[in-house]
Amino acid sequence: MAITPPFFTKREPEPMPVRSAAPAHQAGAHAHASGSGQPTAQAANAVSPASAVVPPPVKEGGSKLTVGPNIKLKGVEITDCDTLVVEGLVEATMDSRVMQISERGAFKGSAEIDIAEIHGQFDGNLTVRQKLVIFGTGRVNGKVRYGKVVIEEGGQLTGDIQFGATPVSKLAAAERPGLSLAV
């Protein structure tokens, strides 16, 4: 029986290198290489193929919907989606955090979002609470409300455009003449 020197047990573990997946029969052959039936130190530190692949960290609430190229998504209401990536055609109503429309992507309908990045085409009602970015290949047409806007050279913005993406509050509606509130 081999005795491990004390300095091996007190050492901090080093990051495991990513290894290619080995067939199961090879991985098991290394586990009992000493012939004593005891696993070797090398086998104890071996990485299983399933744990070798580490997925990228997922942000909290990071739900993402991607509508790929040549896909048409019509007549839907998109909710509880943090990021919508449009590479095909979407005809919908949505309330989201981020919308990204690729050069070949198109969105028709109504959207209320925090940040919009438009490389393709948007037609309809667009309310951007924070920042609207229209790139050189982007075209936005319709009723547009925004907090901040950035338009790259070549980008197009047409329609009913207004600064201020906040929806009409109940208090503002109550201040109009001819309306009264029941108390």
DSSP string, 54-82: -PPPPPTT--EEEE-TT-EEEEEEEEEEE
- Residues 5-63 have pLDDT tens digits of 555 555 555 555 555 554 444 444 444 444 444 444 444 444 444 434 433 443 455 89
- Report H helices in the chain: 6-9, 24-31, 41-44, 49-52, 170-174
| CA dihedral over 37, 39, 41, 43, signed as positive or negative | positive
* Residue 144: Cβ-neighbour burial (10 angstroms; 0-12, 13-18, 19+): buried
Confirm whether pTM is higher than 0.75. no
In this prediction, residues 121-145 reach a mean pLDDT of 96
What is the predicted pLDDT for the residue at 128? 96
Specify the pLDDT at position 76. Answer: 84
Kindly report which listed range (2-16, 33-47, 111-125, 130-144) carries the lowest average pLDDT score.
33-47
In percent, how much of the chain has pLDDT > 90? Answer: 51
Q: What is the pLDDT of residue 37?
A: 47
Tell me what pLDDT residue 16 has: 54
pLDDT at 3: 59
Look at the block and give the residue holding tokens 């085409």.
121
Q: Which residue has the tokens 């449009």?
A: 86
